[in-house]
């Protein structure tokens, strides 16, 4: 058996679909822990309705502590050795768990499995013809990336990992408000391969809830820190603390980083507004992205829309 863990905070709009996507898996031998992270809407009521119908669902009720701490709380009470993560606004396609369980049996040394998938909008429409990038597919690719000092991670909602290694690495860092999945899986990669199944088995919801500029800049900053931490370890150097990393950048480096990140932010929003059919906002974001990163924008949109 396995444990599926899903944190939820004010997720009433999408959580029923997320729950049903797990209950309708072809692999049925699991417990399903849903952590209600102090929701103030109808999230808990919806979870309770499903729990009354299916004994596999266990509810963990906590005060609002944030996604990382909520995930840790769910995994802390998990009964089984393998953990499948799930996000409350996404959809797991029916064979996701079955394929990941089969992969663990075939490749026992792998410590984390992800899957590929598609970006969808609020209406469940696929908005990119290209599957999202989500880590190496083979052990050879993984070890090549390690030799090159590259970070290896998977999208958190698709992750399927060994609980033992999770606890050895101290779980999700609750001080990371974003990029906590990249941080965790990069650390777990020191214990064995982190791989992604090449099949599209997950639908990641691309919506306005994660389009805040402040969060986007913070995300890019933390990803750069994790990247430099990995490179330091690769070279045998002591990695910087996050505080030291933030302090080492001069004003010019910070300005350049912010400029590049701003371009990525408007590229991100261009695709999001396209998927939501909010075309005036899409045009606004497209104009800013074109000014900031004209070449990267063209290549990025072509990759997503016309692979």
Nearest residue to 155 (alpha-carbon basis) of 209, 118, 129, 191? 118
Q: What's the pLDDT tens digit per position in 135-171?
A: 899 999 999 998 888 889 999 999 999 999 999 999 9
Q: Are 271 and 301 in contact (CB under 8 A)?
A: yes
Q: What is the set of domains in the chain, with CATH numbers?
A: 2-209 (3.90.550.10), 211-305 (no CATH)
Cα separation, 169 vs 164, whole angstroms: 9
Q: C-alpha angle with apex 74: 62 to 169, nearest 5 degrees?
A: 120
Determine the 3-state secondary structure of 5 from DSSP.
Answer: strand
Q: What is the pLDDT of residue 296?
A: 52
Cβ proximity of 43 and 8 under 8 Å: yes
Tens of pLDDT, residues 80-128: 999 999 999 999 999 999 999 999 999 999 999 999 999 888 888 888 7
Q: Is 58 exposed, middle or buried (0-12, 13-18, 19+ CB in 10 A)?
A: middle
């Amino acid at each position: 058996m396995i444990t599926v863990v899903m944190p939820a905070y004010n997720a009433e709009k999408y959580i029923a679909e997320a729950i049903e996507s797990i209950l309708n898996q072809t692999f049925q031998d699991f417990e399903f822990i849903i952590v209600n992270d102090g929701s103030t809407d109808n999230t808990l009521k919806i979870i309770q309705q499903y729990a009354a119908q299916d004994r596999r669902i266990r509810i963990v009720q906590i005060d609002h502590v944030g996604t990382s701490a909520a995930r840790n709380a769910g995994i802390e009470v998990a009964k089984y050795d393998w953990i499948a993560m799930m996000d409350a606004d996404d959809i797991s396609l029916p064979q996701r768990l079955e394929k990941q369980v089969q992969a663990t049996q075939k490749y026992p040394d792998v410590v984390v499995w992800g899957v590929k998938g598609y970006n969808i909008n609020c209406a469940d429409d696929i908005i990119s013809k290209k599957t999202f990038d989500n880590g190496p597919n083979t052990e050879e690719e993984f070890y090549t990336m390690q030799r090159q000092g590259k970070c290896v991670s998977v999208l958190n909602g698709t992750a399927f990992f060994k609980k033992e290694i999770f606890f050895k690495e101290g779980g999700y860092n609750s001080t990371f408000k974003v990029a906590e999945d990249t941080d965790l899986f990069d650390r777990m990669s020191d214990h064995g391969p982190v791989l992604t199944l090449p099949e599209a088995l997950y639908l990641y919801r691309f919506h306005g809830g994660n389009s805040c500029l402040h969060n986007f800049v913070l995300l890019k900053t933390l990803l750069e820190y994790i990247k430099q931490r990995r490179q330091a370890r690769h070279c045998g150097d002591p990695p910087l603390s996050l505080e030291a990393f933030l302090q080492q950048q001069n004003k010019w480096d910070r300005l350049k980083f912010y400029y590049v990140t701003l371009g990525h932010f408007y590229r991100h929003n261009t695709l999001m507004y396209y998927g939501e059919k909010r075309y005036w906002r899409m045009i606004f974001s497209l104009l800013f992205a074109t000014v900031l990163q004209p070449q990267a924008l063209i290549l990025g949109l072509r990759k997503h829309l016309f692979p």
